[in-house]
Amino acid sequence: MDTLKNTPVLPETVRAVCFDLDGTLFDSENFYFEIYHDWLRDKYGKEITKDDFAYYETVLDDMLVAHLLESGQIIDDEGKDAVAVRADIQNESLRRFDELIKSESAQKGAALIHSFHDRVGIPLVLATCSEPPHVDPFLDEYDLREVFSEVLTGDMVTHKKPDPEVYLMALEHLGLGPDEVIVVEDSARGIAAARAADMTVLRQTAYLVSPEPAPEAIEMPDLASALELIEEHVA
């Protein structure tokens, strides 16, 4: 491993910032945990822990339902496979999505981004693997389209995080080098994607369901702290 490459160093001058969405700008991780927990308990009698959710959904990339079915911990009476069961849960999350969009964490995150944008006057990019139905309501509820110079979503890339495609796309749109842009992320997958694009990452840890070490990122206790640090390095 190239030790120097994987040691996070803040750019001398920050000319743009890329933000992840889920778990970074608002507390979606605990929201989705509650959706999965309640659905699996009520329909299948299966209780899951936050560690279960974090490992199988985040580390192993959406494999919780498949694991539970394959291990016999849940059995679907209709014979649905993992894809179909996950689709049911995703539909439930969309039905309840308004709860997340109007949550205290979403209101706080939007206010912080608006204020930061007004103060620093540099391009801000939203770079998320979430699909538009999970992105647009947040942008529209808090008038954030005018804040982000680019909004890059999961339907715009071939390979999702931890592949660096979305961050390489952001750099291309910005016309900047990786040493001029900071990324704010929360998950290990997102951090890996940004680091693969040679970008410095600040990890906001306030909403992590089950924190795992991320030595390739500079850890910050919350979004406000990350923004304060970035502002110190804006030209």
CATH no. for residue 166? 3.40.50.1000
Q: Residue 102's CB: how many other CB atoms inside 10 A?
A: 13
Instruction: Assess whether 115 and 159 both reside in one domain.
Output: yes
Instruction: Assess whether 127 and 60 both reside in one domain.
Output: no
Task: State mean pLDDT over 101-116.
Answer: 97
pLDDT at 57 over 90: no
Q: What gap in Å lies between CA 201 and CA 102, rounded to an integer?
A: 27
Instruction: Assess whether 182 and 225 both reside in one domain.
Output: yes
Which residue among 47, 68, 99 closes a domain? 99
Q: Could you tell me the residue range of the domain that residue 135 belongs to?
A: 16-27+103-231
- Rounded to the nearest angstrom, the gap between the alpha carbon of residue 91 and the centroid of all alpha carbons in its chain is 19
For 155-208, write each residue's pLDDT tens digit.
Answer: 999 999 999 999 999 999 999 999 999 999 998 889 999 999 999 999 999 988
Instruction: Assess whether 62 and 130 both reside in one domain.
Output: no
Which residue among 75, 99, 123 closes a domain? 99
Q: Is 2 a domain residue?
A: no
Structurally, the chain folds into a number of domains equal to 2
Q: Is 3 a domain residue?
A: no
Structure confidence at residue 10 (pLDDT) = 82
Which residue among 84, 99, 114 closes a domain? 99
pLDDT band at 61 (very low <50, low <70, confident <90, very high): low
